[in-house]
Structure 1
């Protein structure tokens, strides 16, 4: 089932959704009340004036396909006191459940949290709420040390854009998503070895070759996986095969999707590859990038040294020859 997700803390149906959430919540806690007017003040204000109660937060509503009113809501609380943003008030009307609305609301909330640069998202859930808890677990939330000491309240957290090392089989499993990163990079003008337009089949084939190199032990692959499990960024480390160069590796194909930029993913991917290189005995890393490209700012900021520039080294996606700057970084 498809759903229309919108942000609107002033929607006329939002008070009813929040009131229904709180009335059920109070009943589950054994403190049932009859109407929204009888709710504790801290909850009553949300149902009476959600625009004011959530003025600093993101309120999302889900309207089922073909319906004329939202049947679900969720609130993404703004980060406070250096803590991760928190998801609150996830609610779907009983008649609209088991149609994917809750998952759609959560996916959009997680996407927005990731786009804001948040490293993680947290939430609380009563231990007896089996269905919401199963949903959160399926989305990658894990129980953490409680920040709220109320009995039976579980505190969960999910890291965003988790950087994982990919085995050859996982590279193959993510071939479509990794290919989309490569196509996006070429479409965006990045000089990464291909001319535009890059065919998706060709991009998938390239990653299939990477999987073979990973299986042979000559290339390591890390990807940042977004809330939906699809790659939002990737980096690879290629080990030198010459006998006198076993101390050296090359950073290759550091890619971040244009929709995921501006939140430090490139730096995290690079740091992950560097740390692994050092931990496995490499003492020198090299890379090359198009001169005057945005990537140069990233590498210089991460402590890389420019070794020199070669004019007309490679064509950009449009076919124009561009200069390339070579960089190196000593490890340890």
Structure 2
């Protein structure tokens, strides 16, 4: 059954808790979403609050995918570029699909919903970064994104474990 996507849902305690659970579960399953496992909800909470602050300031929008039971199953934050010469594109951050839903095509659905949202908001491109060493760049490339830059060893996930920071771009025009 497909996910139901909502741009800018009301931030309720249930949604907040669902986002915390999603982020924690994705990280603990090995997902590259800003942390190294294991994490707790309390580890993730400050970062989620930073995203909420950006939303309240009008600098970001939240896209949420919910499963047939109404649980948060996928998410991405569409973050506006504040540099006055780069306002024609936005960043896609914290792209996540819950591990119980992986392999169902929901990642592609989430990226398509993000693309639709960005187009609807009048943007010409989406940029994102991903952590090397996990094959994420191949997934994003299969969804139309092109690698436009790479910083070798920019992400340190542990002692002696450095990963590339890969920049991807999806032109919308």
| Pair in the same fold by TM > 0.5 | yes
Deviations for 1:106-142, whole angstroms, at most 9, x for unmatched residues? xxxxxxxxxxxx33xxxxxxxxxxxxxxxxxxxxxxx
Cα deviation, residue 171, structure 1: 5.9
2:11 alignment partner, one of 165, 170, 174: 170
Q: Using the alignment, how far apart are the partners of 1:171 and 1:209 within structure 2?
A: 16
- Whole-Å Cα distance in 1 between the matches of residues 133 and 37 of structure 2? 20
Report the counterpart of residue 143 of structure 2 in structure 1. 302
- The residue that corresponds to 2:119 in the other structure is 278
Corresponding position of 2:103: 262
CA RMSD of aligned residues (A): 1.8
- After superposition, the Cα gap between the structure-2 partners of 1:210 and 1:246, relative to the gap in structure 1 and judged at 3 Å, is same
Equivalents in 2 of 1:171, 1:328: separation in Å? 32
Pick from 163, 166, 169 the counterpart of residue 322 of structure 1: 163
Which structure's relative contact order is higher, taking Cα pairs within 8 Å and 6+ residues apart? 2
Aligned residue for 2:169, secondary structure, equals strand
Deviations for 1:53-97, whole angstroms, at most 9, x for unmatched residues? xxxxxxxxxxxxxxxxxxxxxxxxxxxxxxxxxxxxxxxxxxxxx
Counterparts of residues 113-262 of structure 1 (less than 5 Å):
118-119=1-2, 161-167=3-9, 169-170=10-11, 173-262=14-103
Q: Secondary structure at the match of 1:174?
A: helix
Q: Unaligned regions of 5+ residues in structure 2, if any?
A: none
Structure number with higher strand proportion:
2
Distance (whole Å) between structure 2 residues aligned to residue 229 and residue 207 of structure 1: 20
2:22 aligns to what SS in structure 1? helix
Alignment of 1:94-105 (within 5 A): none
Take 1:201 and 1:240, find their aligned partners in 2: how far apart are those partners? 28
Cα distance in 2 for partners of 1:203, 1:176 equals 11
CA distance in structure 2 between the partners assigned to 1:206 and 1:260 by the alignment? 23
Looking at structure 2, the residues matched to 269 and 283 of structure 1 have their Cα atoms a distance apart, in angstroms, of 18
Deviation readout 1:273-296 (Å, 9 max, x if unpaired): 111112212112211112242422
With structure 2 as the length reference, what TM-score do the two structures score?
0.89
SS of 1:234's equivalent? Answer: strand
Deviations along 1:35-63, whole A, 9 cap, x unmatched? xxxxxxxxxxxxxxxxxxxxxxxxxxxxx
Counterparts of 1:282 and 1:217 in 2: how far apart (Å)?
Answer: 15
What is the rounded CA distance, in whole Å, between the counterparts of 1:212 and 1:228 in structure 2?
A: 28
The Cα shift of 1:172 comes to: 5.0
The answer on whether the counterparts of 1:285 and 1:328 sit within 8 Å (CA) in structure 2 is: yes
- Cα 1:295–1:171 change in 2 (3 A) is farther
TM-score (norm 1): 0.49
CA-to-partner distance for each residue in 1:161-182, whole Å, 9 max, x for gaps? 2111233x42654111111111
**Which residue does 1:147 correspond to in 2?**
none
